[in-house]
Amino acid sequence: MDEKLKRRIAMFYLAGVINLVLGLYVVVQGGAFLESSKVMTLSLFFFAFAAVDFYFPYAMKKKWRDEQAKAMGRGGPGATS
């Protein structure tokens, strides 16, 4: 796998962990200084972005594997001959 792709995947995982930590912080400590609707909105925002940050590396790996399979001549999932 290309180093640039590995670095990009690692950055998405790092961003996902940061979003999870921030979401948990808002859930645990947010009630002290925010109203409950804002706590819910902010936590959902952070958790949604964390989900996206963990999904993108999966999609990038799958795309890379499909491209490698096509380059090797084997086709792959969804390949037509």
Residue 81: per-residue pLDDT: 47
Residue 79: per-residue pLDDT: 55
How would you class 23 by CB atoms within 10 Å of its CB: exposed for 0-12, middle for 13-18, buried for 19 or more? buried
**DSSP output for 21-54:** HHHHHHHHHGGGTS-HHHHHHHHHHHHHHHHHHH
First to last CA, the chain: 25
Residue 12: per-residue pLDDT: 93
What are the residue boundaries of the structural domains of the chain, listed by start? 15-69
User: What does the CA dihedral 43, 49, 55, 61 come to, rounded to 10 degrees?
Assistant: -140
Along the 81 residues of the chain, how does pLDDT read in single tens digits?
Answer: 788 888 999 999 999 999 999 999 999 998 888 888 999 999 999 999 999 999 999 999 999 889 888 888 865 565 554
Rg (CA), the chain: 18
